[in-house]
Structures are given as structure tokens and as C-alpha cells.
Structure 1
Amino acid sequence: MLRQPTTTAALRQQLRRPATLCDSLRTPARRRTFLSRREIAPSSRAVENLNVRRLSEKSQEYQRNRRIFLWSGLMAGIVSFTYTAYQLKKELAKPVQADSGLPETDPLARADAVDRKVVTHDTDGREIVATGNSTVPTFPRTIDLPAYASPTSDESSNTSAGHLATPGLSASTIDTEYTLVGLGSRTVTFIGIQVYVVGFYVATADIAALQSALIKKVDPIATTLVPGERDQLRDQLLHPVEGQKRWNDLLAQGIPARSVFRVVPVRDTDFHHLRDGFVRAIQGRTAELPGNAAQDETFGEAMRQFRAIFNRGSVPKRKELLLLRDEKGKLSIAYDDGGSKKEGLPVGRRLIGVVDDERVSRALWLNYLAGKNVASEPARKNIVEGIMEFVERPVGTVASQVMQIYNRHN
């Protein structure tokens, strides 16, 4: 059969006609060669289109950003917490400006009243002062102590039994009342680990002499100090050199005649640990003592007696150790170990030793009261503020006021 010639009109008609299956079958197929790339037709299933490497990169990026975000939040929290604590500490350290309605001349209306002792009452009605420590929260405002005498010797005594306590100790039956002047915590190491709380007490009857001596140093004819003079006396007592000279002169004159340092540990310790601290303090003050104490055999013997007193066992926390100085400078050491009649031990405070050399007690007192480095700076500052309470009142009025309160409670 002969094929009819294709005209121009027929060609146009074929182009306008849609392609059919036969036409597609007549289209020549592509052949894949060795060097040609393989064409993969897209699949209709989504799982076959996943790119594992891309997903892994995205997961790693997400985890990295998540860690950065969490660390940023942690650092921001630490910075904000530290800043808030610092600002809170600054606000708490500021004097409380309360509108009390008191005149400006009233001692309680002054800004420095916030640094003074806050006296409250316990369940038994006794006056107590907060220490700021959770283990030893309070100190009594007044304590009654006997005039301890040297213990008598017995069969268990050694050659220095005249200065070591034995069961046959003697003490006067008349108690002396002591009033708290100031207190603070003794800390060690750079992080401020608290060791014990110490309070300075002065015999109530001897406060007038201390008042008069301090006032006369500032104004020889005054009986009380005005605010400007009180600030002058405060600066002198806190000065490393002036304070040392002032307290050294007072102690040499026997002022105050009778005083006590009350030491209460806030953690379990022992007598040897306390002894080492006291001995280092005394040795560091030998330059201020009269005579050549470092080379004096009498002073050396007194230090051996002092060390022998502390040859004892443990000192549990909250137990009381008293360092008493009388009008002659004699040092008496008493300890309350919490004994009971059931245990066969004396109840209450017991004298454990006496050192007659006045220089030993003076060095211990200077270790807490004056100098460049003191055993407890908070205690020294609080003691000075307590003295400011004394000198702002007429001589003799503090003792009479304390006695009136004491008689009212008894």
C-alpha cells in the first residue's frame, strides 16, 4: 500500500491532536550508559525522601543551642541571686531610721542605737541578750559569781596543787553580780568558721569606777560625755595604738577591778585547743606587759601553771568557761561541765585553776579589748558600744539602775 503524501494542513492537524499512548510508545527511550548519572524518580512515600545526615546535623545543632540556653540561664540566675543577696546585706547593714517620736537627744533615737544590745526576757523572766548564733542564741545580761579562792590541796595534788583545782576547792559564799558590756563570736580561717561566743562582764559595783576613768580621759571635769566626746572616745578605743595604751593603763590601775570573759563554744572542742589559742594570744602581747616578760622566769612559771590548768579532756558545745580577773589581777578559771548529782559530779561552775601573776590576765584581756589584731573584732566593737552606753549617763547611775532591776526580779 502506498503512503499518501503528507500535506501542510495534515501536519498541522496532527500537532493539534493530543498525544496518545501509541505516540508515547513510539518515542525512542533513553539508554543508560556507564558514565551517565542514574535518575531516581521521586517516590510517593515520605520515609524514602529522608536525608539522614541532614537530620543528624539538625539534631546536633538543636542540642548545642539547648545547652547554650541552659548554661546562660544558670549563669544569669547565679548573678542575679548574688546581686540580690549583696543588696539585701547592704540594706540590712544600714541603720534603721524609724520614726519613734523620741527627741533627738534621747539615746534610743540615735542611729547608733541599732548596734547596741537588745535585751529581752526568757520564759523565767530573766534578762537575756541575743548573740546572733543559732547554737548559742543568748547570753544572760547579768551573772552572779562567787569570789573564787585558791583550791586546797589533797592527796591527788602535785607540786603545783596550789594553782590547780581539786575537789576540795573553796569559794566565798557571797556572790558578786556582773553586768554584760558586750559580746561577739570568735572566728578562724578565711571563711570565718565560728569557734565560740565570748562576752565581757564587769562587776556591777565597779561600773562607776570604769565610767569615771573613761570620762576623765576625755574631759577631766565632766560627769558624762556629750555626743561629740563619745565619738572621740569611741575612736580612741577602736584605734590600734591608742586603744592599746588606754586599756593597758586602765588594767594596770585595776580598772575595772573585777571583770569576766565568758566563753561558750559553738562546736565541740577540747581544753588543749583552747589553751593553744590563749597561749598564742598571751605570747603576742608580751611586748605590752610591764618588765621583760619574755625573759622573766616568774612569768615563765606562771605560763607553765596556766598550761597545766588546761591539761584536761573535751569541751562540748554550749558548755561555759569563765576567765575571772580580780582587783589584784589574779586570774581564776571556772568551768561548768553540766555535771549532776546522779553522776557524782558537782552541779554548776567549778574552779579549775588560778594564776596569780597579773601579767597573764592582762595579756588575755588586751587580746579581746585592744590592739591591731584582736581575738574577735565583733566582740571588741560591741564592747566599745556597751562602754558608750556607760559614759553617756552620769557616773553611778548605771549600777543603781541595774541593781533596781535585779531587786525587782528577785
Structure 2
Amino acid sequence: MAAPTRQAMRLLSPRLQCLKQQQVSACTRQMRCVSGRYSNPTKRTVSTAPIGVSSFVGAGIPEPQPVHNPLDIRANRLEYEEKRRYHTRRMRFAGMGLLLSMGGLAMVLFNLDLDGIEQAEKKRRGQQLDASSEANARFQGKEVHVIGAGEDKRIVAQGSGENIELVETGTSNVPHFPRTIYLPSSPDSAASASAPGIVGTAQPNSPQNPGNAANQEEYTLVGLGIRTVMWIEVYVIGMYVRTMDITTLQEKLIHSVNPAASTLIPAEKEELKKKLLDPEQSREIWGEILKVPGIKTAWRISPTRNTDFGHLRDGFVNGINARKAEARTLTKGETEYDSEDFGQAVQSLKAIFTGGKAPKESILILARNNVGVLDVLFQPKPSESGKQKAMELLGTVPDERIARLIWLGYLAGAKVSSPPAREGVVAGCVGFAARPVGSVETRVI
């Protein structure tokens, strides 16, 4: 047994020596790695040990990485889901970026004032003055003069033997509104007899038109404001009341606060203002004022940029739909606006605004007579020489509910089409109510 054992040991000794050399080589490499890590400060790395495991255990030995088995179905599925979520997130961010870019570009193009660019180009070439200063210096072809200062300041447009008192609007696009306008008493007035569909240019009592020869009625401004969509100015709108109906308007406003008074004291004026701004009470007050037969009122609309009848029509129809929804909420059932004839009246309103442009400096008039009939009048943009063009009758809507809802859309309810316009009208109504009933003074505060 001794001879075979010695022979086996001789055979195994080379193998043992080889294994011993491999172990020594591995230890040497590990020691070099460790010594190199701590001997060269620039190559030191900081590693955190797992929670609950001592940092001295296994120091310098890298943790084994999990080996992915390509035949593991669950692992493949998880990897696929992770990649899908990653690419989905990237697609969503890219889509949102594209939409924001397109929206920003659309807003820039919409806000781009081509007329202003053209005027600036002409100014650069020395052909004419700046458009904004020219617009502030003239109104309907007449020179604008400022008389006085402070609260007593008056702005007057003078020319052609007449003076037109103006009110500042607060925007340079449409800087002024007339304090009084003259509208035909009916489409069959003497002014429209000469040409079908023409109702004549609104002119005050002047040497060229003594005694309102065109049978036109005077309307006085109650208040105005700017209609905006988001932050974009769309048009300036002002509410007018027939001058001879101001006394009736004063009585209704004053009696809504104090039935026995003929004018309002400061505390009652504040109460009237709160009522006119309150969603519920404003409906009651304006519902009483808009009863038929009643007073004649009108809205004067002047676009601040080039637009068309389609955009104006959509705004009016949206206001009507909003008031219809409020009426359904209040009554919790069917209303007078759910009938078939009212739907036909809405279609008639839409037909009036089919096609056509409403450029800057043009004028749209929505006139409501004492029985609620709505007349839509339009005065095109003045000619290049500044001459005013004739006012045209676009159409009529006999159903009084259409005009009533359009008026309520600007004056009553929780949300109105133009909060600045409502605030301006409220201020004017409070100014009327602060004067004695029947006062001939019609200046708007």
C-alpha cells in the first residue's frame, strides 16, 4: 500500500502546486487592487454598504450582478412593460410640447396686428404718421380736441359744422366712443326710402341735418367696456338708452332700492351697485327693465382687430345658450326657451350673420325697440379718405326673447360675456339713479 500511495502523491503533487499558485495569484491581484485603491487618492471611490450589513464584511469584493435568463417569461414581460412605459412617457411629453408649440404659434399669429405692421412700414418709409396717434387725433374723420383737465375734462371731435362729445374707452385700438348716437326709429324711416336696406348715416342735429330730418332718435351712453377672450381684446362694447327713456330707466333703478324715493343717497347708491352686480338680483332688476312694452336700448360694438360675422355670431349664440342653461337650472325643468319657435328665432339670428367681414373701425349696432324686436345694423369701415359710409340694416329678429337673452348675457347672471362692460354699465346706472327723476342732465359719470 505504501508504494501506490507514494506514487499517487507524486501524481497529485503537480496538480496541488498548480492550484496553490492560482490561489496565490488571486490573492496577489486582490491585494494590488485594494492597495491601489487606497494608495491613489484620485482613484478612491465611495460606496455605501447595504442596510443592516457591516461595512467591513466583504470589503473590496463587488456584489454579483443578477444574470438575466433569456428564457424567463416573467422577466421578459417586465422588461417589455418598463420599455413601453418609458416610450409612452416620451411620446406624451413630445405630444404636449407639440401642442404647446402650435398653440403658442396660433396665439402669436392671432395677436399679430397686420394693420399696425403695415402702418409701421409706411412710417419707416416716410409715407404717413403712426396709426395709433392718428386714431387718437381723429374720430370719424373729425379732429379730436381735449377741453379742460381732471374730472371736468371734455373730449370733443369737431368738424363739418358739428361737435361730437367722446368718451375714452381705455384701449388705443378703439380710443373713443361717442357719448350720444342717432339711430333710425324704424327700418321704414325716411332715410331708408331712398335705397333698400339702407337706413342712413347716424347724424346729430346739425346744420346739415336740422331737426333730425331723417327721423332719427338720440341715444345716450350708459356705460362701456372691452370684451376679451383670454387676454386678447376682441371689441369695445357700449350700452345706449334712448334719451327720452332715461326718465323711465331712472324710475326703475331707484324704485328697485327705494320705491318711495325720487333719487338715491350715497348708501342707497352702494346698495344699487351691489344688486346690479349680484347674480340673482341683477336678473330681477334687468328682467323688470327689459319688460315689453318698455324702453329702447342698443349695444354699439366696435372691433379692435379684423374679424368676421361668424366670430361675432358665435359669441352671441354662446351667450344665449348660457342664459338658457341658467334658466333651466333655476326652474329645474322646461322653460320658455325650449319651444320650437324659439329655436327658429335662433336660426334667424344666425342667418343674419352669414358671411361678411367686420374689420377694425367698423361698427355693429344691436338695437332693441320697446316691444323687444332686435334690429342688427352695420356701418362698414370708413373709406381711405376718412369719409363715413352709410349704415346698413342686416336683418331683424321679431322674437323678443332673442334680444332679451343677449342683453342678459352682458348684464346679469354669475358669468357675463364682458365683466368690464357690465361694470361700466353699472357705474352709469348708479350715476343716473343719483340724479333726480326727470333731470335733463345725461352726462355719464
- TM (normalized to structure 2)? 0.56
Q: Output the aligned Cα RMSD.
A: 2.9
Contact 1:148 1:351 in 2 (8 A): no
**In the alignment, which of 342, 357, 362 is matched to residue 299 of structure 1?**
342
Deviations 1:24-78 (A, max 9, x none): xxxxxxxxxxxxxxxxxxxxxxxxxxxxxxxxxxxxxxxxxxxxxxxxxxxxxxx
Whether 1:312 aligns to 2:350 is: no
Structure of higher CA gyration radius: 1
Contact 2:198 2:391 in 1 (8 A): no
After TM superposition, the structure 1 = structure 2 runs for residues 199-210 of structure 1, keeping only pairs within 5 Å, are: 199-210=238-249
**In the alignment, which of 227, 239, 252 is matched to residue 266 of structure 2?**
227
**In the alignment, which of 232, 248, 261 is matched to residue 299 of structure 2?**
261
Contact 1:338 1:348 in 2 (8 A): no
Whether 1:389 aligns to 2:418 is: no
Contact 2:218 2:242 in 1 (8 A): yes
The alpha-carbon distance between structure 1 residues 312 and 360, as it changes in their structure 2 partners (threshold 3 A), is same
**In the alignment, which of 258, 282, 293 is matched to residue 243 of structure 1?**
282
SS in 1 for 2:290: helix
Aligned to 2:66: none
Relative to structure 2, which stretch is displaced further, 383-392 or 287-296? Answer: 287-296
**In the alignment, which of 389, 393, 411 is matched to residue 369 of structure 1?**
411
Aligned to 1:401: 441
Query: What amino acid is the match of 1:361?
Result: A
Distance 2:354 2:154 in 1: 37
Query: What amino acid is the match of 2:168?
Result: A
SS in 1 for 2:170: coil
Whether 1:141 aligns to 2:174 is: no
Query: What amino acid is the match of 2:372?
Result: G
Deviations 1:212-267 (A, max 9, x none): 11111211111001001111111000011111221122212444x11110000001
Identity %: 40
**In the alignment, which of 209, 223, 227 is matched to residue 186 of structure 1?**
227
**In the alignment, which of 145, 168, 181 is matched to residue 130 of structure 1?**
168
Distance 1:198 1:379 in 2: 7
Structure number with greater CO (CA < 8 Å, separation at least 6) is: 1
Contact 1:282 1:363 in 2 (8 A): yes
SS in 1 for 2:441: helix
Aligned to 2:364: 321
Aligned to 2:156: 121
Deviations 1:142-164 (A, max 9, x none): 0011123279xxxxxxxxxxxxx
The alpha-carbon distance between structure 1 residues 118 and 332, as it changes in their structure 2 partners (threshold 3 A), is farther
Please list every run of at least 4 consecutive aligned residues from structure 1 whose deviation after the TM superposition is greater than 4 angstroms: 116-119, 339-342
Distance 2:184 2:152 in 1: 26
Superposition deviation, residue 402 in structure 1: 4.5
Contact 2:169 2:176 in 1 (8 A): yes
The alpha-carbon distance between structure 1 residues 294 and 338, as it changes in their structure 2 partners (threshold 3 A), is same
Contact 2:292 2:371 in 1 (8 A): no
- Unaligned 5+ segments in structure 2 are 1-149, 190-194, 201-213
Deviations 1:320-350 (A, max 9, x none): 00000000000000001136699xx993211
Contact 2:361 2:382 in 1 (8 A): no
Query: What amino acid is the match of 1:201?
Result: Y
Query: What amino acid is the match of 1:356?
Result: P
Whether 1:169 aligns to 2:169 is: no
- Unaligned 5+ segments in structure 1 are 1-113, 152-166, 404-410
Distance 1:346 1:169 in 2: 17
Contact 1:258 1:326 in 2 (8 A): yes
Distance 1:354 1:364 in 2: 14
Distance 1:119 1:253 in 2: 36
The alpha-carbon distance between structure 1 residues 226 and 131, as it changes in their structure 2 partners (threshold 3 A), is same
Query: What amino acid is the match of 2:157?
Result: D
SS in 1 for 2:174: coil
The alpha-carbon distance between structure 1 residues 117 and 351, as it changes in their structure 2 partners (threshold 3 A), is farther
Superposition deviation, residue 390 in structure 1: 0.6
SS in 2 for 1:148: coil
Superposition deviation, residue 121 in structure 1: 1.6
Query: What amino acid is the match of 2:197?
Result: L
Distance 2:250 2:152 in 1: 18
Aligned to 2:374: 331
**In the alignment, which of 254, 265, 287 is matched to residue 215 of structure 1?**
254
Contact 1:334 1:353 in 2 (8 A): yes
Distance 2:198 2:361 in 1: 25
Distance 1:143 1:392 in 2: 23
**In the alignment, which of 256, 273, 276 is matched to residue 314 of structure 2?**
276
Distance 2:347 2:251 in 1: 36
Superposition deviation, residue 178 in structure 1: 0.4
Contact 1:117 1:129 in 2 (8 A): no
Superposition deviation, residue 171 in structure 1: 5.1
Distance 1:259 1:341 in 2: 32
Contact 1:118 1:129 in 2 (8 A): no
Distance 1:254 1:118 in 2: 37
